[in-house]
Amino acid sequence: MIQVQEVSLTIKKRRILSDITMSLREGNIYGLVGNNGCGKTMLMRCICGFVKPTSGAVTVDGKIIGKNVDYLREAGIILETPGFIPYYSGFRNLKLLAGISSKPDKEKIKDSMRLCGLNPDLKLPVRKYSLGMRQRLGIAQAIMEDQRILILDEPMNGLDRHGVEDIRKLLLALKEEGRLILLTSHNMTDIEMLCDKVYEMDNGELTV
**11 lies in the same domain as 97:** no
Q: Select from 104, 123, 147 the last residue of a domain.
A: 147
Same domain, 69 and 42: yes
How many folded domains does the chain comprise? 2
- Same domain membership, residue 122 and residue 190: no
pLDDT value for 98: 85
Q: For residues 186 and 35, what is the distance between their CA atoms, to the nearest angstrom?
A: 8
> According to DSSP H, which parts of the chain are helical?
40-48, 90-101, 106-115, 131-143, 161-176, 188-194
Residue 208 lies in a domain: yes
The one-digit pLDDT tens for each residue of the chain (208 residues) are 899 999 999 998 899 999 999 999 999 999 999 988 889 999 999 999 999 999 999 999 889 998 888 888 889 999 877 779 999 999 999 999 888 777 778 999 999 999 999 999 999 999 999 999 999 999 999 999 889 999 999 999 889 999 999 999 999 999 999 999 999 988 899 999 999 999 999 999 998 6
- Are residues 152 and 140 part of one domain? no
The reply to whether 20 and 68 lie within a common domain is yes
Q: Which of 106, 129, 147 is the last residue of a domain?
A: 147
**Domain end call among 117, 147, 177:** 147
**What is the arrangement of strands in the sheet containing 2-11, beginning at the earlier edge strand?**
14-24, 2-11, 55-60, 63-64
Domain span at residue 105 reads: 84-147
The b-or-e profile of 81-110 (16+ CB within 10 A means b, else e) is: ebebeeebbbbbbbbebbeeeeebeeeebb
- Whether 189 and 104 share a structural domain: no
Q: Is 79 inside a domain boundary? A: no
Supply the pLDDT for residue 74: 84
What's the rounded Cα separation, in Å, for the pair 157 and 137?
12
C-alpha to C-alpha distance for 85 and 88, rounded to whole angstroms: 6
In a domain, 32, yes or no: yes
* Domain shared by 205 and 194, yes or no: yes
CATH code for position 198: 3.40.50.300
Residues 101 and 19 in one domain: no
Give Dmax (Cα) for the chain.
50
156 and 135 share one domain: no
Say what the pLDDT of residue 71 is: 86
**To the nearest 10°, the Cα dihedral for 122, 128, 133, 137?**
70
Contact 88, 42 (CB under 8 A): no
Three-class secondary structure of residue 50 per DSSP: coil
